[in-house]
Amino acid sequence: MSESRRLPSARTFYEEVGGQATFERLVARFYAAVRTDPVLAPLYPQDDWAGAELRLRQFLEQYWGGPTTYSDQRGHPRLRMRHAPFAIGPAERDAWISHMRDAVDSLGLPADQDATLWGYLVNAAGSMQNRFPADADADRAPRR
């Protein structure tokens, strides 16, 4: 078979990037920064950083083809619903993206894997945003 007609890998993205060890490094690096971030830290349970870290890692592992521990323990991810109680505006989204970019960079993934992972993370961050500048403007507008 010619090189241009290679069969796709039967391995999952989870396996291709290094499995649990890679996702542990990613999430640990991310949360090390979030713990001290003045915008993000207040959104997290201060007494359960380890739990937050574990949940994110398990979710990402499952999403990318690893163990289904997240859903086995917590049911369907329902990410928007789970994040709805938290005010996530542009500042929160951008801080999350900034720390996650650093965490992804720390992995040293090949460009194609980096782009795949990063594309998902940016889209996920955008979909969690539930406060928008127009919302604040509407709240300040005089009532008639």
Domains of the chain: 16-140 (1.10.490.10)
Look at residue 1 in the predicted model and tell me its pLDDT: 47
Average pLDDT on 44-71 reads 94
Please work out, in degrees rounded to the nearest 5, the angle formed at the alpha carbon of residue 74 by the alpha carbons of 72 and 77. 100
pLDDT-derived band at 142 (thresholds 50, 70, 90) equals low
Q: What is the dihedral of CA 52, 57, 60, 66, to 10 degrees?
A: -140
Question: pLDDT of 69-114, one tens digit each?
Answer: 999 998 888 888 888 888 899 999 999 999 999 999 999 999 999 9
Token pair recorded at residue 110? 């090949």
pLDDT-derived band at 27 (thresholds 50, 70, 90) equals very high
Question: pLDDT of 9-24, one tens digit each?
Answer: 689 999 999 999 999 9
